[in-house]
Amino acid sequence: MKRFARLFREIDGSTKTTVKVAALASYFQDAPDDDRLWTIALFSGRRPKRAITTTRLREWAAEKAGLPLWLLEECYPAVGDLAETIALLLPEPDAALDLSLTEWINRLRDLAQQPEETRKAIILDAWDKLDTTERFLFNKLITGGFRIGVSQKLMTRALSQATGKPEAELAHRLMGNWSPDDTNWHDLIESEDGSTDDSRPYPFYLAYALEDEPDALGSPEDWHAEWKWDGIRGQLILRGGEQYLWSRGEELITDTFPEFSRAKDFVPEGTVLDGEILVWNDGPEPFNALQKRLGRKTVSRKMLSDLPVVLYAYDLLELAGDDMRQRPLEDRRAKLATLFDQLPEEAPLRLSPRLPFAEWDELGDIRKTARDNRAEGLMLKRNDSPYLAGRKKGDWWKWKLAPLTIDAVMIYAQSGSGRRANLFTDFTFAVWNGNDLVPFTKAYSGLSDEEFRKITAWVRKNTQQRFGPVRQVTPEHVFEIAFEGIHASPRHKSGVALRFPRISRWRQDKPLQEANTLDDLKEMLAIYG
């Protein structure tokens, strides 16, 4: 744990990417294999299951520190992180125990089988033998909330420096449904064939947002354009006689969408498709239709009938077991089109069509019709581009429509978390319905730190009531709320729900009575819902 704590201090103590990469690379060169493997797992979101509830952890920490529980609770918002709060409040350790990261993780995982008194004794004993940084990391492992600001891209770069293997290869090796329980450092990182798992997806290629007009991209004839669909990104894999479906968040969602089990009947073995999962009823349905399918372990026959899904494919990553990613996009698309020409109509697959255009102005006119086509905007891809890993600037761009906006009144405020735990950053907004304000959405991002400080000072002086962490405030301030879509929702008092709402700006120039109305929202719903 001491080696891992030293790594954390080096990473946390600098904002420079080069320093973080160097620290990680050095760690990956010198640490024991099992610790290296667990470090990769932790930094890629593969955390051990929570061993202790945070309620018990708070109680035991207050007892160990000789503090009333209410005082620990008051300290927590000031620090912004429970693991750090506890680490800072505990008394100095009375001994030292130099166990490895893996040994501490195994101790925590064994706690699940122990009675509560035994678990408490083990946690208190560990706190007695760890310094402040080690306690902080230990507490993070207990709560299962392990995030310390290391992206997978940064970690892959460090691994490449430590092992000499290409970043793209390592990014692929780290994809999929592996854990330290079913693999080891050699098989995952060092073996000659690190991609023997038939279910393993490829790293997704991500586009940058195009902020300006596309004229600067060069000749239109060098570019491929298609709709940016409003579904969820997925990779459909046909290998070893089985089919696997992965989301962009590296979640295996095969069972959530059983329609794709039929893909084995239509698609050749050794094929990997990249595309968008959409509800399809004589055309793509809005995202809120797909939302009803997400997160379900089982899907009823009625839902399969009412909300059938398709994969709208736009890239071919593997064909007959051959990795196609380094071939130009136009070659991959040509083979994808040939493959789809052979599919019967009942296959749960569609080919995302190319949008032909000769001039950028012509494409701009096409983009204006995106919402009419159930799309968020356009994707622009250079014809000769390979399929890369992660977000790379230059070859793939997303040219989205400007968001929808509405002016709303803030009526509730709640503190944030982390470094913003002492600020009010989470707000509930309302629109007018006659003389009443009807809440319709929550939003928390979009303001500068200075604006958050100003609104926090105002909230503290203008609180009408408190409901736990939530404060009802005097209706006074108008904010412009941006969002990507709107749909009917009987669960909300307003009858509508927004997609990706966020604060666009604080309308300090706008009086309260000039905020939008519920009728305005319903008019938007009629047009865009």
Active site residues: 228
Say how far apart CA 363 and CA 383 lie, in whole Å: 16
Say how far apart CA 83 and CA 169 lie, in whole Å: 35
Q: Please name the helix (run of DSSP H) or strand (run of DSSP E) that holds residue 33, with its range, or none.
A: helix 33-43
Query: Residue 433 forms beta bridges with which residues?
Result: 436
Q: What single string gives the DSSP state of each residue in 268-307?
A: -SSEEEEEEEEEBSSSBPPHHHHHTTTT-SS--HHHHHHS
Structure tokens at 135: 């306690």
Three-class SS of 302-337: HHHHHCCEEEEEEEEEEECCEECCCCCHHHHHHHHH
CA-to-CA separations, 450 to 375, 420, 423, 431, in angstroms, rounded:
35, 12, 11, 26
With contact defined as beta carbons under 8 Å apart, do 410 and 426 qualify?
A: no
Q: Is 240 left (phi over 0), alpha (psi -120 to 50) or beta?
A: left
* DSSP structure class, residue 215: G
Q: What is the largest CA-CA distance in the chain?
A: 74
CA atoms within 13 A of residue 387's CA, in its CB half-sphere: 22
With contact defined as beta carbons under 8 Å apart, do 234 and 246 qualify?
A: yes
